[in-house]
Chains A and B, each alone.
Chain A
Amino acid sequence: MWFIKNSITRKNLMALTGLFLCLFLVIHLLGNFQLLLPKEEARLQYNLYSDFLSNNILVKLISYGLYASILIHTLDSIYLTIKAKKAKGSSYVKDNRGRASKWYSRQMMFLGSIVFAFLVIHFKDFWFVYKFGTLPLDTNGNKDLYGLVLVSFENLWYVLLYGFAILSLGFHLLHGFFSAFRTIGLYNPKYNSIIKTVGIVFAIAITFGYFIIPFYMYLID
């Protein structure tokens, strides 16, 4: 398998899974915007939507791709971080190299770890409960995921935890989005500047979009 051998191909995997996850972020956010509807309307519609997602065969297939992407992205980053640590050699006594780059571009592993830890919590609290736990049914007979969301975001610390994780994700995207395009080989200066701008807009939009939901849910209850 040629794509396992070296770090450029490893980085390709990282970039492609990352971009796929970016696409997922958009879809997930658009779906979750239904939470912002008036309470009872949101309950019925969101539960219906969740039921559709968990029973549609196409969505199911894409979700396996999603789980695989998260795992490949994570394992690859661990592999590359260990490799880079070996390449570095001893450290400098006086180190001012940070002036040449953005802090978040150097802390992708740290930011990614926060996002991964958040994902574990997020999966455990919603995905796992929805799939394997018992939830009351709404008036349409669908599992009441909306109710679970509402109860979860009653806690301020939980809302703040989400805020922190989303902010970390935002900085991760701020570097990751354009970096992914560079990795797969976009070298045209014009398109690079476009992608850089798109990346900034994308990171801000995703951060802001995801920010609204937990705070809104906290405030309406």
Chain B
Amino acid sequence: MVIHLKIWRQKNQHTKGYLESYTLNEVDAEMSFLEMLDSLNLKLAKQGERPVEFDHDCREGICGQCGVMINGIAHGPLKNTSTCQLHMRSFKDGDTIYVEPFKAKAFPVIRDLKVDRSGLDEIIAAGGYISVNTGQAPEANSILVSHEESESAFDSAACIGCGACIATCKNASAALFTSAKISQLAKLPQGQKESSKRTVDMVNRMEELDFGHCTNTEACQVECPQDISVLNIAQMNYEYNKAKLKS
């Protein structure tokens, strides 16, 4: 199939970006979206042009590295799918596809489709861990956790940190990401001990990094590759309010 591409090209953070048009004539419907970009880069390399740079790693939908805006939607037209799990069969012969990087003030473009998402690591570094020294593995039944609780914590922990929620949010809010990390730990007894401090520290870090606020439009969950629930955000608010009222 023939695919027309309009891809965001930007040399570095300090230069202005622009959309460049390309046409690929031999795109296979079974190619993944990233393989399609690979074939474009092969073509560009052969022509002696600078390839289009984009982030990717596992290409299995679990690492959270890939992530671009495809036709104005984070990770493209399929809901709850990462860019690497999108295939060209989702497009028609002759389609024009716009490919842009995730945009937010806290996500400066490094080059082309690559953005600096280290802000998310900084939020984790502010408290997204359990700091107590646990020593050896305890006896399995000494801390009881119900199946429902562990499943719910796992649902939150499934966040791959790709940043699609921020790219989709009209306020570039990192609430879904931060809240998933907070509630994943707050839902289990081991994490509850430090929940207040963790929540306040992570929320404050999120604020300092210039992410916007959450207005509960719920768009983030729709485009999230892992379908992380917006109720995590409500739990983050609960934990934050509780911590502030207690202090």
Chain A positions within 8 Å of B, measured between CB atoms, are 2-3, 6-12, 80, 83-84, 86-97, 99-102, 105-106, 108, 175, 178-179, 181-187, 189, 192
Interface size class, chain B = 35 or more
Q: Quick one: given A97-B73, A185-B235, are A84 and B168 in contact (CB under 8 Å)? A: no
Residue of A nearest to B104 (CB): A89
Query: Within the complex, which residue of B183, B210, B231 is in contact with A87, where a contact is CB–CB below 8 Å?
Result: B210
Chain B positions within 8 Å of A, measured between CB atoms, are 6, 8, 19, 69, 71-74, 98, 100, 103-107, 168, 170-173, 183, 203-204, 207, 210-220, 222-223, 230-242, 244, 247
Q: Quick one: given A105-B216, A178-B216, A182-B216, are A100 and B72 in contact (CB under 8 Å)? A: no
Assess the A185–B234 pair: CB atoms within 8 A: yes
Assess the A7–B207 pair: CB atoms within 8 A: yes
Q: List 25 A-B contacts (CB under 8 A).
A: A7-B212, A7-B213, A8-B203, A8-B213, A8-B237, A84-B172, A84-B212, A87-B172, A87-B212, A88-B170, A88-B212, A89-B103, A92-B72, A92-B100, A95-B72, A97-B219, A100-B73, A100-B217, A101-B218, A175-B216, A182-B234, A183-B234, A184-B241, A187-B231, A187-B232
Query: Within the complex, which residue of A10, A93, A105, A187 is in contact with B238, where a contact is CB–CB below 8 Å?
Result: A187
Q: For the complex, what is the distance from the CA of A100 to the CA of B223, rounded to whole Å?
A: 7
Residue of A nearest to B218 (CB): A101
Contacts of A9 in B (CB 8 A): 244
Q: For the complex, what is the distance from the CA of A139 to the CA of B220, rounded to whole Å?
A: 60
Q: For the complex, what is the distance from the CA of A84 to the CA of B166, rounded to whole Å?
A: 12
Q: Quick one: given A87-B106, A87-B211, A89-B103, are A94 and B71 in contact (CB under 8 Å)? A: yes
Q: For the complex, what is the distance from the CA of A101 to the CA of B169, rounded to whole Å?
A: 10
Assess the A100–B219 pair: CB atoms within 8 A: yes
Contacts of A80 in B (CB 8 A): 213
Contacts of B69 in A (CB 8 A): 92, 94
Contacts of A108 in B (CB 8 A): 215
Majority secondary structure of chain A interface residues (helix, strand, loop or mixed): helix
Assess the A10–B213 pair: CB atoms within 8 A: yes
Assess the A91–B103 pair: CB atoms within 8 A: yes
Q: For the complex, what is the distance from the CA of A106 to the CA of B168, rounded to whole Å?
A: 12
Would you give the shortest CB distance from A16 to chain B, in whole angstroms? 11
Residue of A nearest to B19 (CB): A93
Contacts of B170 in A (CB 8 A): 84, 88, 97, 106
Query: Within the complex, which residue of A90, A91, A96, A106 is in contact with B73, where a contact is CB–CB below 8 Å?
Result: A96
